[in-house]
Structure 1
Amino acid sequence: MSDTIQPDTHRILDVDCTATLALTRNFIRSLFVDADITDPGRLIERIQRRYHGSSQKALITAVNNAAKKYREVAA
């Protein structure tokens, strides 16, 4: 997963992933865009509620890793 984050607001501006289908990539993008990277719990809840694909756990891991990396870089 790759993302672009607005540093002032911590909002995710864009995201991309390696899903095969464009429909899946677009849906994942809709889940992530405008989410606050400093509040991964809310984004994880959104993923658990709306995305039931086989890569749900991988997306949650990606969110946690991205939030951790962002905290390290922003500190």
Structure 2
Amino acid sequence: MTLPVEELSALKRTREFLRDMLGSNLTTIRKNAREIRERAGRCLKHYPFDMHIDSVWEKRIEEHNRAMREFSCKKPK
């Protein structure tokens, strides 16, 4: 069972991994293919399932919409 803190860590670790990959050239990637695959596997070990991401995203959209409604209802003084 993956804990929420592990999912968050996996998201951050995956973002860092992808940034590192973008900064690497093809030769470096080829030389380190095994290490890269292992690192990718570690990123995905606790990566959240789509349904968890969708659920969090839907809540975030609801919070944003609620905040926008509250903001638009406030009258300037």
Q: Report the TM-score when normalising by structure 2.
A: 0.33
Structure with more of its chain in helix, by fraction: 2
Structure of higher RCO (CA pairs closer than 8 Å, 6+ residues apart): 2
TM-score by length of 1: 0.34
Return the index of the structure with the highest Cα Rg.
Answer: 2
